């Protein structure tokens, strides 16, 4: 969306002045004299440029199935899924049981009795070394057996049964699911015109705030707490139009979806900080290459080079009085 012409410095949008401006800036940089003389200014544009910082908060989590022998656990909650839990109640970096998944089962090994036939004596109750005799014969001599002469199995004491190891003798076991969640928070800076980012971040040019705050928040994974998406949409649409609005939401949703595409990931909050600034873009050709120069319209003492002959991307400050003098000289 184009902004209104700068009434204080109307010569800014006239192509004929930019050759001398480029000469001046090239001389001051000391790296490209007579840039303007050797350049062709192809276009001078005015922009109401968007500057945006947007981000999201979310969690990633790992689920685990577990089993315990016996009835040892009690549930501290009744959630069956992490999706049911309010995000502000999900502990971060801590293993938590989903109480709603806790279930008690009869032990299959002992059929709920809590004991099984003694494997040491095969359920006979007799000592396997002396077969219940209480003694053994070795080299023609009679010796008391390791069972102490009782003749009973040392494992079961002659009862023929031992506690079931599968359930620790309880006759039951428990199963449940648990999770461990980690916080994820990311922010991105965006502008359809890259030069506007250092102009606002580093040079502090004048800009207008469109939106600042959280525009989307979930109570839990399936329940919305509030949404200001329409407010944000209107703020961009009313100031910048449909194309800029669509581009912004396509980018922000794309970043969120990149995160959501990861296994067991949830986004619960989105925020944005939006500003616009009026800038002038000068497009020119120098030695068969295309370059561009950006200037803050409301603070014309600040310049930002997107590209310049002999240099990479850069920005710097210059006194606007030099350009005013060029304009006055042309008008004499």
pLDDT in tens, 143-191: 899 888 899 999 999 999 999 999 999 999 999 999 999 999 999 999 9
Domain for residue 62, yes or no? no
Q: Are 250 and 257 in contact (CB under 8 A)?
A: no
pLDDT in tens, 222-238: 999 999 999 999 999 99
Which has more pLDDT, 31 or 24?
24
- Distances in Å between the alpha carbon of 203 and those of 67, 215, 300, 317? 60, 28, 12, 8
Length of the chain, in residues: 332
% of the chain residues with pLDDT over 70? 82
Q: Bin 157: left if φ > 0, else alpha if -120 < ψ < 50, else beta.
A: left
Nearest one of 259, 233, 68, 257 to 167, comparing CA atoms:
68
Domain for residue 30, yes or no? yes
Domain for residue 159, yes or no? no
Which residue has 């050759």 as its token pair? 19
Helix axes 18-29, 321-331, angle to 10 degrees: 140
Q: Are 210 and 239 in contact (CB under 8 A)?
A: yes
**Neighbour-count burial for 218-237, b at 16+ CB within 10 Å, e otherwise:** bebbeeeeeebeeebbebbe
Domain for residue 109, yes or no? no
Which has more pLDDT, 87 or 310?
87
Domain for residue 108, yes or no? no
14 band by pLDDT with thresholds 50, 70 and 90 = low
Domain for residue 170, yes or no? no
Domain of residue 21 covers: 10-56+183-331
On the question of pLDDT at 201 being above 50, the answer is: yes
Domain for residue 76, yes or no? no
pLDDT in tens, 291-304: 777 877 765 544 55
Give the count of domains, the chain.
1
Domain for residue 244, yes or no? yes
pTM exceeds 0.75: no
């Amino acid at each position: 969306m184009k902004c209104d012409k700068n009434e204080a410095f109307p010569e800014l949008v006239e192509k004929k002045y930019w050759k001398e401006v480029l000469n001046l800036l090239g001389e001051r940089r000391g790296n490209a004299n007579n840039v303007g003389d050797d350049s062709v200014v192809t276009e001078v544009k005015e922009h109401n440029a968007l500057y945006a910082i947007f981000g999201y908060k979310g969690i990633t989590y790992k689920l685990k199935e577990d089993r315990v022998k016996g009835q040892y656990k009690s549930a501290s909650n009744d959630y069956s899924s992490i999706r049911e839990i309010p995000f502000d109640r999900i502990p971060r970096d801590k293993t938590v049981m989903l109480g709603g998944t806790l279930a008690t089962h009869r032990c299959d090994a002992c059929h709920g009795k809590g004991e099984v036939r003694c494997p040491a004596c095969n359920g006979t109750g007799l000592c396997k070394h002396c077969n219940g005799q209480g003694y053994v014969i070795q080299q023609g001599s009679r010796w008391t057996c390791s069972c102490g002469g009782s003749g009973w199995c040392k494992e079961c004491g002659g009862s023929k049964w031992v506690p079931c190891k599968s359930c620790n003798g309880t006759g039951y076991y428990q199963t449940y699911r648990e999770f461990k969640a980690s916080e994820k928070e990311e922010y991105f800076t965006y502008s359809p015109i890259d030069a506007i980012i250092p102009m606002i971040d580093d040079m502090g040019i004048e800009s207008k705030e469109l939106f600042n705050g959280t525009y989307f928040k979930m109570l839990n994974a399936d329940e919305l707490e509030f949404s200001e998406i329409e407010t944000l949409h209107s703020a961009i649409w009313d100031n910048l139009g449909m194309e800029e609005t669509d581009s912004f939401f396509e980018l922000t949703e794309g970043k969120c979806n990149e995160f959501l595409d990861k296994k067991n990931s949830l986004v619960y909050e989105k925020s944005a900080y939006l500003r616009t600034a009026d800038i002038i873009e000068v497009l020119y050709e120098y030695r068969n290459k295309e370059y561009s120069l950006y200037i803050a319209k409301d603070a014309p003492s600040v310049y930002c080079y997107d590209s310049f002959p002999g240099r990479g991307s850069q920005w710097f400050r210059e006194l606007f009085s030099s350009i005013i003098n060029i304009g006055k000289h042309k008008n004499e």
